[in-house]
Homo-oligomer: A and B are copies of this chain.
Amino acid sequence: MQATETMAGPEHYLSELVRAGLLIPVGVDGLYGRSGDFEDVIEAFNNVITRLGRDDGAEVMRFPPGLNRLHFEQSEYLKSFPQLAGTVHSFMGGECEHHELLRQLAEGEDWTGEQKPTDIVITPAACYPIYPVLAARGALPSGGKLVDVYSYCFRHEPSKDPARMQLFRMREHVRIGSPEEVVAFRETWLERGRMLATELGVPFEVDVANDPFFGRAGRMLAANQRDQNLKFELLIPITSKERPTACMSFNYHQDHFGEIWHMQTAAGTVAHTACVGFGMERVALALFRHHGFDLKAWPESVRKLLWG
């Protein structure tokens, strides 16, 4: 990692972003509005990813930030990350229950008792909706499959670190195929990620990583994931040089999703999957951190990459 000046911590950076009007506080840690400038950076970076993968032949799928609860239950997310998921609940009562709800609300009591779970869970990671969709199509075509997804995701981890939002956008390319195909895909994107971060003019490092698995059993899963080099992250210092922030991740799921969804390659073997994920807000926050809050003053090469 390149040397940068000493960094102010997460709360300080958040207050700077708010003062500059780039983030708009709404009273909940990890939930912010974005200014037009902030969105311009997100959109431009998103276009850069599109251009990078243009010749890869990905199928574009765009899902709303909601997942079929049944698919969520089948995904085993609850085994690994129960603390992060967000289920969507609605009022399904009649007039009487409504009167009671309004009375509770007026008197400052808990009014959420009649909120019942709907069929929808907020998307925890952009790729989750695609596996059952692909599985329903039958065996993969020869050469496997590549899918391009982009969505808001939810993780319940309130924090004053602007790089740890509860609702944030994730762009992903997901490769489904033989182990060789998906590992080669991950290598390609690791290389592209390094090139991209270099061109964006930010310090970075790539390191092995693990997901935030829940509980004691989770510690074993995390260690196992690291030992097998299943997850790499491209880290950029945003509010700490010692603890840089994961802005891109490169994940090899082995046959995890293939087994759950019975996805098969054209050869009849269980499909393996890998994905590259871009934390869109984190990349924007890294660019604002290293190039300043005035887009016009950003290095010409970075402006050219982003806006042509």
Contact = CB atoms under 8 A, between A and B. Distances in A.
Give the oligomeric copy count. 2
Interface in A140-176: 152, 154, 156, 158, 165-168
Counting from the closest, the 3 A-B pairs by CB-CB distance are: A36-B60, A64-B167, A90-B156
A215 interface: yes
Contacts of A216: 95
B92 A83 contact: yes
B102 A91 contact: no
A288 interface: no
Contact of A129 (B26, B69, B122): B26
Contacts of A65: 65, 152, 167
A64 B92 CA distance: 25
A133 B83 CA distance: 29
B27 A68 contact: yes
A73 interface: yes
A192 interface: no
A75 to B, nearest CB: 11
B85 A87 contact: no
Nearest to A153: B64
A98 interface: yes
Contact of A91 (B28, B32, B82, B130): B82
Contacts of A119: 28, 31, 158
A83 B90 contact: yes
Contacts of A63: 24, 26, 33-34
Interface in A93-152: 93-95, 98, 101-102, 105, 111-112, 115, 117-120, 122, 129-130, 132-133, 152
Contacts of A105: 73, 78
Contacts of A88: 86-89, 122, 154, 156
Contacts of A35: 60-62
A165 B63 CA distance: 12
A6 to B, nearest CB: 31
Interface in A9-63: 24, 26-28, 31-36, 38-39, 59-63
Contact of A85 (B34, B59, B90, B130): B90
Contacts of A93: 82
B68 A26 contact: yes
